[in-house]
Chains A and B, each alone.
Chain A
Amino acid sequence: MVVTLPRSEDINWTARAVIDGDIHPALASPKSLDPYLSQHWRAHRQQLSGFSYSGATYPRANPNAARVDSWPPNGQPPGSDLNFMREQLLDEWDIEVGVLQPLLGAGAQRNLEYGAAMSHAINDWLLAEWLEPEPRLRASLVIPYEDADLSAAEIDRVGDQPGFVQIMLVIRTSEPLGRRKYWKIYEAAVRHDLPIGIHFGGAGGGPITGTGWPSFYIEDHAGMSTVFQSQVVSLICEGVFEQFPTLKVILVEGGFAWLGPLAWRLDAAWRKLRSEVPHVKRLPSEHISEHFWLTTQPMEEPDRPEYFVQMLEHFPPLADRLMFATDYPHWDFDAPDSALPRVRLPQGTHQKIMAENARALYRL
């Protein structure tokens, strides 16, 4: 029997706003995008159902990586039914605003033109079937990120629609995201005043760690934080923030306790090795403080809750940069009433993490 845990009796959190930075909408069926695709690409989809990188099979913890209670009554996939999402997430938890992150594989298509057509279709589907009917929702703008020209064109097409609040990348791209092949994406993002949101997952075609292919899903899942670290290193060392000083980057679902230790290591290395990267003009930790935001799910859970407070003290920008997220409907969902460790946070920090940091970033 599947039973959903009741909400906590602790009402402290209900008095506060909740903004959810990571919600996954799903397609009700593989045909759901057909109305938004041309005849040619509909036929392509029917023939190939997507053509991406092979060789990365890590069966998830649950079907669709979803909470077992998140299958809508109509039997369609978790996250595919807006009414059920309202009931189980938006209404249940009084979510003021939620940001949709469509993980539908457009960017990992080896046929880049199809990736562009899929991105186009997904964005139109988001506008028509999610953003228009539900004013609490916002969305990430999907792009075929391995081709920066096609991506910039899609950003120019829909980037000024108010429902899109960020541009969606994934953490596992074919090359580190600081490399110049991606710069036109950042140029377009800055042009439309949109942050970049880099989400857990993706497939770039190579091994998923810096030392080849691991064996288990737990390594895919827990190890994702190492790829987030690699992308932070790349974006800083390539000089992306010198080139695009107003660019903002949101790291979605990658953890955040590693950020301070990474900043310390980057700073130490930059002090010794900066002659190699003269385009990096500032201490890496300053770039991190200025340009990066992070969503909280999966929440960091130190063995002693006071270490959570220490972690915030050790890298002070975190308190202004963490943004709550549920990751609905995925199995590792964080509930708004119980996600943060049961420990006294500095005055105001709880509200900042649950809503105010996101409100400021997204100008809600």
Chain B
Amino acid sequence: MPTDAPIIDCDIHNVVPSIDALLPFLSEHWREYIRQSAFKGAPDNAYPPQMPTTARPDARSASGAPGSSLDVLRAQVLDAWPIEIGILNCAYAIDSIHNPDAAAAMAAAVNDWQVAEWLDKEPRLRASVVVPSHFPDLAAREIERVGGQPGFVQVALPVRAEAPYGNRRFLPIFEAAVRHDLAIGIQFGGAPGNPPTGTGWPSYYIEDYVGMAQIFQTQVLSMIVEGLFDRFSGLRVVLIEGGWTWLPSLMWRIDKDWKGLRREVPWNTRLPSEYIKQHMRLTIQPMDAPPDARHTLQVIDQLGSDELLLFATDYPHWHFDTPEEALPVPLPPHRKRKIMADNARAFYRL
């Protein structure tokens, strides 16, 4: 789909190539800790390196770990489309580190690495603040530390967590994000240690992968009914890489339940779907679209707003092979333009 119209890519993954890349951004204490323990960095179970979805074929053929090179990113995404603005979502699994001081130090190192190696070198890029999301006070402190830097436009939270994000234990994160006028980007993945379904641990990676959409649904419900958007009228949440064709069915279900059960959550003064339309956006890849493109258009219509979808390549993850497949529906030009750039520009205030 190369075109002259502006494109904002809301989901590009910059990958920490190895622990060595973070050493310059860590204190001597943590460098020694890493040397003595032979710690290789946070393990990334959400994207096993050799699984097909983890990297598209052209990203694999480049040198280094897919997503770890700015030059390759420029060649394969930023210049290829071309992209006006790309938002980096580093999925470094800080939440798998149970030592709170180590988690905070590693998150800070990842953020300083993002500034030095990506944001300072490429003006088209923006980034997400990586935080120790499982220690909300420390996460808030990291947001305070770097949230004012202009390259950061959101705080990244893995969709899997020890508790749904509406839970009050997470309030310091949302308070800090709102204070710094940052969006919250909820991302595919997470390593909290508890099972990724409401019925225990599945056997296969494909189940974790598909099942991530159910966890996004759980987070949407939690953030609304706990009253996060009643408490923070300026809170903006982007659901990244979780699919979106499930959203109409979820809105129908929770709107109906709210009518029956709202006395339990009296701070919710509007239909849940209205909070979604005002406060939430979703990136378009993976599409998880029905086989018939006409049906995809109907699902887009069922969203009830043409402002919800944000274009994303999800580079280097593998969902499509040609640019035409990135948004394979015949939308009218003004609606296409909203998805390709205008919705993101407005929501992220770019």
Residues of A that sit less than 8 Å from B by CB = 61, 171-179, 204, 206-219, 221-223, 225-227, 229-231, 233-234, 237-238, 255, 257-258, 260-262, 264-266, 268-270, 272-277, 298, 300-303, 307, 310-311, 313-315, 331-332
Contacts and interface: CB of A to CB of B under 8 A. Distances in A.
A177 B202 CA distance: 9
A222 B254 contact: yes
Nearest to B291: A264
Interface in B257-305: 257-258, 260-262, 264-265, 273, 286-292, 295, 298-299, 302, 304
B256 interface: yes
A172 B200 CA distance: 9
B18 interface: no
A35 to B, nearest CB: 34
Given A226-B217, A262-B246, A176 B164 contact: no
Contact of A264 (B194, B264, B265, B289): B289
Contacts of A311: 249
9 contacts: A216-B225, A216-B264, A217-B264, A221-B261, A223-B217, A227-B198, A261-B299, A262-B213, A270-B206
Nearest to A307: B302
Interface of B: 51-53, 159-167, 190, 192, 194-207, 209-211, 213-215, 217-219, 221-222, 225-226, 243, 245-246, 248-258, 260-262, 264-265, 273, 286-292, 295, 298-299, 302, 304, 318-319
Nearest to A314: B295
B197 A277 contact: no
B218 A210 contact: yes
A176 B159 contact: no
A63 to B, nearest CB: 15
Contact of B255 (A172, A231, A303): A303
A261 B273 contact: no
Contacts of A331: 260
Given A204-B200, A257-B252, A314-B298, A223 B218 contact: yes
B222 A276 contact: no
Give the top 3 A-B pairs by smallest Cβ distance, nearest first.
A257-B249, A230-B197, A212-B163
A216 B198 contact: no
A18 to B, nearest CB: 22
A257 to B, nearest CB: 4
Contacts of B265: 216, 218
Nearest to B206: A273
A276 B252 contact: no
A178 B202 CA distance: 8
B249 A258 contact: yes
Contact of A173 (B165, B196, B200, B207): B200
B203 A179 contact: yes
A258 B304 CA distance: 17
B221 A223 contact: yes
B164 A212 contact: yes
B199 to A, nearest CB: 5
Contacts of B202: 176, 178-179, 230, 233-234, 237
B288 A268 contact: yes
A61 to B, nearest CB: 6
A211 B221 CA distance: 12
Contacts of A226: 197-198, 214-215, 217-218
A234 B192 CA distance: 21
A204 B273 contact: no
A233 B210 contact: yes
A310 B245 CA distance: 13
Nearest to A285: B291
Question: Which of the listed residues A260, A268, A269 has the most CB atoms from chain B within 10 Å of its own CB?
Answer: A269
Contacts of A213: 163-164
B243 A265 contact: yes
Contacts of A207: 194-195, 198
Contacts of B159: 211
B207 A175 contact: no
A55 to B, nearest CB: 13
A225 B246 CA distance: 11
Contact of A303 (B201, B203, B221, B273): B273
Contacts of B254: 218, 222
Contacts of A219: 164, 218, 221-222, 225
B261 A61 contact: yes
A204 B195 CA distance: 12
Given A231-B199, A233-B202, A272-B318, A218 B225 contact: yes
